[in-house]
Amino acid sequence: MKRIAIIGAGASGLIAACYASRDGRQVILFEKQKKIGRKISITGNGRCNISNRNISTGHYHGHNSRFVDAVFSCFSLQDTITFFEERGVPFVEEDEGKLYPASLQASTIPKVFQYELKKRNVDLQLHRRIERIEPEGAGFKLFTAGAEEHRVDSVILAAGSCAYPPVGASNSGYDLARSLGHRVYEPWPVILPITIPLKSLHQLQGIKWDAAIRVEVNGKEMGRSRGELLFTAYGISGPVSLNVSRSVNSAVIAGKSPGIIIDLYPSMSGDELARRLERLWIDGGKKTGFSLLGIMKDRMPEVLCGIAGVDPEKRVASLSTTDKKKIAGIMKNLVLEPGKPRGFQEAVAAAGGVDVNEIDPATMESKLVRNLYITGELLDIDGDSGGYNLQFAWSTGAVAGKAQ
């Protein structure tokens, strides 16, 4: 009987176990944590953004992002939907094609997999960290941190990335891949808040605002997004910020100086905003900051006027044409410089990882080591925020499991 070891009980490892355990194959699933699917349990703000209706190559990044085309041709979004529906988990769709389990509870997914593992007689080894993998003939010998040895015929390495250590993420998967001869591009954090050193902006902490953001490097647009922006004590966060964080961090790490341009009134043209401001400024006796309270939240007028170089205490009647242009300009084009990228402690995903040119996308088998399969976040593919990373995990895990 074929013995298959799966290292990691995250998204790709769990679905791989379901497919690999067919026809009586013996599957051992090793998980270094005390629970399965810990990262799944916190995705989508606890609701599990399980995939996205708009799956396409353009939402993925890496040294060879076209790799995802071949993977999705083997296990598609529809295959994912069918897999979960057959297990009693239909999807519901929300803004921008985001798909969630109809329960709107991320905890649903690990529970479903827990049932499937038991039903399929998968040998689940919790709190078991694999420290070393040694090829042995056509198979492998695995060593746990507790000095246990396991002999298996094939290995699916699904240990995940180093993003978000609070749920157990680490570098262990990369280390195991390197030990078996694979090239690993140095990981760096993506989908996370952005540090903005401008201290006056920090006074807006806690304010949420609909905005459009674009990232430019030397006048060239590198990324854009629109949605909810959250001002923080260190910079900016919220969905719109997370969406462009990859573009920002990529430029900073490369030694470039990206500009983050925020449009606080994306539903209005510059001329429309200027006309609205003129109506607000009919009463020349008002202080400039106070005059803006009708279209801004508390603290925003003072902070934005300050950034624009206009005293918020200045009477509206005293505003020059230049002052007015500065205020309108800051509302439509608030230009910010990012600081040093924040760490993996806050990152949803990691860019970098195992070189996908060393992996067969039709099976996820290593081209370097026979009977070794590598899946999910360990690979040098990272998706945009919105369910894209989980879809890549479901697809790669399923493909590897089917290949057993």
pLDDT by 10-residue block (mean), the chain, 404 residues? 96 98 94 95 91 96 97 98 98 95 96 97 97 96 93 97 92 97 97 97 98 96 95 96 96 96 97 96 96 96 97 97 97 97 95 98 98 98 96 98 98
pLDDT at 24: 83
Q: Which residue has the tokens 């088998």?
A: 365
> Which residues have a Cβ under 8 Å from the Cβ of 102 and sit 6 or more positions away?
89, 90, 91, 92
Q: What are phi and psi of 384, to 5 degrees?
A: -65, 165
Tokens of 58: 């353009």
The whole-number pLDDT of residue 147 equals 85
Q: Which long-range contacts (CB under 8 A, 24 or more apart) does 311-314 make?
A: 312/287, 312/288, 313/287, 313/288, 313/289, 314/287, 314/288
For the chain, the structural domain boundaries read 3-188+349-402, 193-342
Coil vs helix vs strand at 103: coil
Q: Give the per-residue pLDDT at 294.
A: 94
3-188+349-402 CATH pick, 3.40.50.1000, 3.50.50.60, 3.40.50.300, 1.10.8.50: 3.50.50.60
User: Rounded CA gap, 48 and 59, in Å?
Assistant: 19
- pLDDT of 224 reads 94
What pLDDT was estimated at residue 146?
84
Q: What is the pLDDT of residue 280?
A: 96
pLDDT of residue 56: 95
Nearest one of 404, 348, 342, 338 to 375, comparing CA atoms: 404
Residue 283 confidence (pLDDT): 96
Per-residue model confidence (pLDDT) at position 289? 97
| Sign of the four-CA dihedral 1, 36, 184, 56 | positive
Q: What's the pTM?
A: 0.93
Rounded-to-integer distance, Cα 325 and Cα 331, Å? 10
- Rounded CA gap, 7 and 30, in Å? 5
